[in-house]
Amino acid sequence: EIVMTQSPATLSVSPRERATLSCRASHDVISNLAWYQHKPGQAPRLLIYGASTRATDIPARFSGSGSGTEFTLTISNLQSEDFAVYYCQQYNNWPFTFGQGTRLDIK
Amino acid sequence: QVQLVESGGGLVKPGGSLRLSCAASGFTFSDYYMSWLRQAPGKGLEWVSHISTSSTYTDYADSVKGRFTISRDNAKNSLYLQMNSLRVEDTAVFYCAIYNSGWYSYWGQGTLVTVSS
């Protein structure tokens, strides 16, 4: 099973600044990586798939990069609605696995 | 718009059973593989099971194989998860989601399953 490790566990950033979230895979997942946003009591929301392709209706301030074992989610010009928990997920090998999440807090 | 609404969660004793349902709307349900995922308290997300469009193909995480059964009714736009022999470690919020080429494009808000004596 591929282990996904996200860092940091918690990130505190001020509104209108940039947040950079990292995700590392224990084995090469090529570009088969997705990112999700999750707010308490709400449905998780797909942000990025294919490591860098934004999902439908996702604002351009969300961008994904990386391949192989190292991936990054960058959120520019942070808005109040962006403070949430973010998860990465690999879909290169079964079983598909998720990282433990990065909580993005308001500084 | 796409809506997925889970129901059927609750409190059950170890060894008991529950049947979760997921009502889908806003898309052509029969065109998509569907999945169940879960999140235990304080833990990350975990894939549980998925089912093909016509129910021909199903798969399960090792942790639930032999105890959980996924099914769907395309006429009713509904997805189900029959959970038997429940364990304390099955306590989690269960989500249904649309499976799309590896990622999960839409999720429901989840239903809480608590297994406790």
With contact defined as beta carbons under 8 Å apart, do B72 and B24 qualify?
A: no
Residues of B with CB under 8 A from a CB of A: 4, 43-47, 59, 61-62, 95, 97, 101-110
Cα–Cα distances (Å) from B50 to A11, A40, B107, B111, in that order, read 33, 24, 13, 17
How sure is the predictor about A3, in pLDDT bands with cuts at 50, 70 and 90? very high
Instruction: Say what the pLDDT of residue B51 is.
Output: 97
Q: At A88, give phi and psi (nearest 5°).
A: -105, 155
Burial A26-63 (b: 16+ CB within 10 A, else e): eeebeebbbbbbbeeeebbbbbbbbbbebbeebeeebb
A49-80: pLDDT as tens digits: 999 999 999 999 999 999 999 999 999 999 99
B102 and A87 within 8 Å at the Cβ level: the answer is no
For B82, the token pair is 């029959």
- The encoded tokens of residue B66 equal 């032999």
Report, as an integer, the average pLDDT of B7-23: 98
Task: Calculate mean pLDDT across residues B37-54.
Answer: 94
Please answer whether residues A72 and A86 qualify as being in contact, where contact means their C-beta atoms are separated by less than 8 angstroms.
Answer: no
Chain B residue closest in CA terms to A89: B103
DSSP for B44-78, written as a single string? -EEEEEEE-TTSS-EEE-TTTTTTEEEEEEGGGTE
